[in-house]
Amino acid sequence: MAQNTFHVALTVKDLPTAIEQYKKILGREPAKVKPDYAKFELSDPPVILSLNPGPGEPGTVSHLGIRFADSETVVTELQRTKGHGLATREQVGTTCCYAKADKFWLHDADGMQWEMYTLLGDAEIHSTPDNACCMSAPHEQASQQEAAANCCAPTAKAPVDAPLVQIQTKRTCC
């Protein structure tokens, strides 16, 4: 069975500059480069890092996710999360970030968007209209409704254990 892979999407100010810097940081070429998107795929540790120019504060996390090996696993994870009462937004056969995928979205307790998906294949276009990241999903719980309402709104800086380091998050799409 193929290994699941962690996904991190970062907002960048200047895509060509970011690509050059990440080539130096990661010691490899990107797996995919488009005029408005880039993706690095690492096997050790297994991570997919996508760079996304556009709306959002540069240098912040756009969203997190997990890429699963197949659609059956996505369906199993969707059923599991729904079984825990988490609100989800499903996208079967969608096109986003130059890829065709089966996926679903959910929010953590602090409103961070998570994309749970499997890659079906590459696409020549960036996205289709059905992939709007801020489209609110039906919510069974008030905290999840608040998270959806705040989707794509900047959050305050969250302190990390290191005294002088902070991470700022902002929800944007892809």
Q: What is the pLDDT of residue 131?
A: 55
The tokens for 155 are 């959050």
Worst-scoring range by mean pLDDT, 32-36, 40-44, 96-100?
96-100
pLDDT tens figures, 91-140: 998 988 888 999 999 998 888 999 999 999 887 788 777 555 433 333 33
- Three-state SS annotation for the chain: CCCCEEEEEEEECCHHHHHHHHHHHHCCCCCEEECCEEEEEEECCEEEEEEEECCCCCCCEEEEEEEECCHHHHHHHHHHHHHCCCCCEEEEEEEECCEEEEEEEEECCCCCEEEEEEEEEECCCCECHHHCCCCCCCCCCHHHHHHHHCCCCECCCEECCCCCCEECEECCCC
Give the span between the Cα atoms of 53 and 101, in whole angstroms: 21
Residue ranges and CATH numbers for the domains of the chain are 5-167 (3.10.180.10)
pLDDT tens figures, 70-84: 999 999 999 999 999
Q: What is the pLDDT of residue 95?
A: 85
**What rounded mean pLDDT belongs to the chain?**
77
Cα–Cα distances in angstroms (integers) from residue 74 to residues 61, 133, 144, in the given order? 23, 18, 21
Q: What is the pLDDT of residue 34?
A: 96
Q: Which amino acid is at 138?
A: P
Q: Which amino acid is at 152?
A: C
Average pLDDT on 24-41 reads 94
Asked if pLDDT for residue 143 goes beyond 60, the answer is no
> Which residues have CB under 8 Å from 155's CB, separation 6+?
110, 111, 168, 169, 170, 171
pLDDT tens figures, 7-30: 999 999 999 999 999 998 888 999
Q: Which amino acid is at 26?
A: L
Asked if pLDDT for residue 164 goes beyond 80, the answer is no
Asked if pLDDT for residue 85 goes beyond 60, the answer is yes
